[in-house]
Structure 1
Amino acid sequence: MAERRPRTRRDWKLLAETCGTLLERLPELVDEYLRRLAAHSATYGRVIPYDQHWQEAEEAIRIGIEAIRSPRAAPRRDLLHAELLGRRRAQQGLPLDLLVHAYRQAGQLVWETLMETATAKEPERLAVLMQSATMVWSAVDEEADTVAEAYRATELELRRRTDERLQALLDALLDGRREPELTSRAAAGLDLPEHGRYAVVVLRVERRDGREPFHRLIQGAGVRFVWRMRTDYEVGVAALAEDTGLDALAELLDGRCPGPGGISPVVTGLGRLGQARRLAELALRTCPPDATGIVRLDRRMPTALVVSQPELARLLVSDVFDPLLELDPADRAVLLETLEAWLACEGSAGRAAGRLYCHRNTVFNRLRRLEQLTSRSLSRPRDLTEMTLALDAHRLTQG
């Protein structure tokens, strides 16, 4: 293969003259360029006003032709302009593939016109142009790469700003703000019904370095989640379909979250998310320190009353269990564990014995001793209620 001869001063002069001819035809080139883009996709016209597009195209093509005429000029104005245009098109919302197509279409049009102009002149000019083909298309590729990189960086920044704005709206709702303007903006930004059915989920989870957040693993028909990370827990807003209740929500979360977690009752409207968040946190507070399950507030109302009044809870524990608390810790733990098992088994001594791996008479004996120590009877409803609530308060205040 014959070696390519080095360019002479005359070669550069002929190339510059050919580019100068293109610059004289610039308005014609811009009209043809915009016609081709419109034929390719109507999106260009919908996103970019025609007058603006024409002026920007005229500037971009002129800078591109000047870059071909003076390829060793620094800085590369064509790349600086491509970066600027990439940011602008990302802000306008033009799809990236159409932006890259526009740049390559401009390169194609400039090359075709260069060839046409050179062919109309002396053959020597055509030979010089053909020797410049690699340079021209390399410049077009660099411009396309630059515009795409600037577009992606701007798109990422815009997405980050949008996420921050939406998170701020969600935080405001969860903090209890309910101004109509705020709820309508949040509904539009988060794509949630302003007056829909909602429940709030609060999960106490530990950070898992390098692993997928738990909430991203949760999917379910009839439920759409919007999650917000807070300092030591995650808050999930669950938008519920009309036929989806708390049973379905709890079933969806159970086994998919490490817990513990709390679920609020259903509320209507984004303006009541602050109330729902507080109730979900209250449900979470009913979980003992070592709990791992997800609990519903409507199933933990008595315990919620206890934890919502810590001073009264301490008085209740002292009043009911004070003699019990003076026992040896191991002895006390056995009695309380027996009471907890008996309550969990709905008052069945036989089932409680199976859970505790002891004889049912042992369960009866422990319960009688507990009654003696507390001066209360498990057969009297009021006494039973007090002992149940005192047990919850004691478990929740341990550690």
Structure 2
Amino acid sequence: MGGRTRRTGHDWKLLREACVALLPRIPELVDEHLRQLAEHSPAYDRVLPYDQHWREAEEAIRIGIETITAPRESPRRDLEYARDSGRRRAGQGLPLDLLVHSYRNAGYLVWDALLEGASGGDPERLAALMRSATLVWSAVDAQAVTASDAYRETELELRRRTDERAQALLDALLEGQSAPGLAARAAAGLDLPERGPYAVVVLRVERRGERDAPHRRVQEAGFRFVWRMRTDCEVGVVALGAEAGLDGLVALLDRLGVGAGPGAGGVSPVVDGLAELGQARRLAELALRTCPADAGGVVRFDRRMPTALVVGQPELAGRLVADVFGALLALEPGDRAVLLETLDAWLDCEGSAGRAAGRLYCHRNTVFNRLRRLEQLTSRSLARPRDLIEMTLALDAYRLSPGLGGVG
């Protein structure tokens, strides 16, 4: 409890005698110390077993009193013990303000006991103690600061380890690992229910922003998100809740600007628990692959399944493009691009040549002429459902599959 700035003379002798006389009273002081702490906050008794707390408090008070009279060049045992105490209390989960209060409270008890021992008719001893007050309280402050610093360092390290464990559990789920008990451990580490409706969002990341973190937890409009940054994408695990659905999720993401601008994002179907997140991630990634890299917005897998079938089978996609667009691919790039752009616009306009012409800034007859030329080059008719399906899927494959003229 004491500082050890150089002391000489009679004051030092009287202070030492007072400290030695106080040593037999330490058990009494510890009992009173723990009683006052329990009155101050029930957290002490909840966090610290009484017998362990008593032994540690007894040792801390004894070391503090002995330190007051220790030679100046000796090691600071009180600060070493304070560092250990700060680390222990951080690991036990005692709030930092209660740790500091315990040091202050012990300091008051020891100081009052010293004054009480010197007040029995010896003014000289009492005066010597009062002249030592600054030294004693400086030591109490040093112990509290040392314990606080060790507490904060340990708390940061524990938080880092907790984050790393949570990150590893999240990665294991998203990779589809099926180790026994993994979902239960992840539920505890991520503070999420093991069962319940979940979806996965995968965003193509063009730039790092405020979400650039190993993983982070967010709650928005009834949805609970855990985001995980990866090299070329950001993955979000979404707890949907009882009333939430994919329509509400996509609307929220659009409103927040998630996936806005180049890049886009994909949303998985709903799955029933954490154990199914690996499958959900793969389907969300497949939904993302149905979006051209220059498109924005977030798309749902269940609204892109035909296109997902195409981009999910690169070899078959290549064969489909070669079979349907073989003659078209031999055209000059500019000529080919105009015909495919016209087909794309006509499909987006639900087969309306007039609306497609407005989008393309040309006459509707021009649209008809281009479509007839496409039919001639592909030997298919847009009026036949099977041919229309083939041409639609071939267009998606061409635009979205790497190596076929698309951007992947």
Distance 2:307 2:219 in 1: 30
Contact 2:223 2:240 in 1 (8 A): yes
Distance 2:78 2:54 in 1: 17
Contact 1:178 1:272 in 2 (8 A): no
1:180-199 to structure 2, matched below 5 A, reads 181-199=181-199
What residue is the counterpart of 1:264 in the other structure? 268
What residue is the counterpart of 2:341 in the other structure? 337
Distance 1:84 1:166 in 2: 27
What residue is the counterpart of 1:307 in the other structure? 311
1:53-68 to structure 2, matched below 5 A, reads 53-68=53-68
| Alignment pair present for 1:213 and 2:217 | no
Judged with a 3 Å threshold, the aligned counterparts in structure 2 of structure 1 residues 175 and 347 are, in CA distance, closer, same or farther, namely same
Distance 2:118 2:212 in 1: 62
What residue is the counterpart of 2:351 in the other structure? 347
TM-superposed CA distance for 1:219, in Å, is 4.5
Judged with a 3 Å threshold, the aligned counterparts in structure 2 of structure 1 residues 327 and 245 are, in CA distance, closer, same or farther, namely same
Judged with a 3 Å threshold, the aligned counterparts in structure 2 of structure 1 residues 317 and 239 are, in CA distance, closer, same or farther, namely same
Aligned sequence identity (%): 73
| Alignment pair present for 1:87 and 2:100 | no
Judged with a 3 Å threshold, the aligned counterparts in structure 2 of structure 1 residues 227 and 217 are, in CA distance, closer, same or farther, namely closer
What residue is the counterpart of 2:136 in the other structure? 136
| Alignment pair present for 1:120 and 2:120 | yes
Contact 2:201 2:268 in 1 (8 A): yes
Q: What's the TM-score, normalizing by structure 2? A: 0.92
Give 3-state SS (helix, strand or coil) of 1:268's partner. Answer: strand
> Letter of the aligned partner of 1:69 in structure 2?
T
Structure 2 runs not aligned, ≥5 long = 1-5
> Letter of the aligned partner of 2:188 in structure 1?
A
- C-alpha RMSD of matched pairs (Å): 1.9
What residue is the counterpart of 1:150 in the other structure? 150
1:223-302 to structure 2, matched below 5 A, reads 223-254=223-254, 255-258=257-260, 259-302=263-306
Distance 1:8 1:147 in 2: 29
Distance 2:42 2:308 in 1: 60
What residue is the counterpart of 1:29 in the other structure? 29
Can you list the C-alpha shifts for 1:333-369, whole angstroms capped at 9, x where unaligned? 1111111111111111122122112222221221111
Give 3-state SS (helix, strand or coil) of 1:202's partner. Answer: strand
Contact 2:217 2:224 in 1 (8 A): no
Q: Identify the range of structure 1 (115-124 vs 338-347) with the bigger mean alpha-carbon deviation.
A: 115-124
Give 3-state SS (helix, strand or coil) of 1:369's partner. Answer: helix
What residue is the counterpart of 1:364 in the other structure? 368
Distance 1:290 1:8 in 2: 81
Structure 1 runs not aligned, ≥5 long = 1-5
Q: What's the TM-score, normalizing by structure 1? A: 0.94
Distance 1:65 1:231 in 2: 56
Q: Identify the range of structure 1 (183-192 vs 44-53) with the bigger mean alpha-carbon deviation.
A: 183-192
Distance 1:64 1:216 in 2: 43
TM-superposed CA distance for 1:325, in Å, is 1.1
Distance 1:217 1:81 in 2: 37
Can you list the C-alpha shifts for 1:119-157, whole angstroms capped at 9, x where unaligned? 125211111111111111111111111111111111111
Q: 2:386 aligns with which of 367, 372, 382?
A: 382
Contact 2:217 2:227 in 1 (8 A): no
Give 3-state SS (helix, strand or coil) of 1:257's partner. Answer: coil
Give 3-state SS (helix, strand or coil) of 2:193's partner. Answer: coil
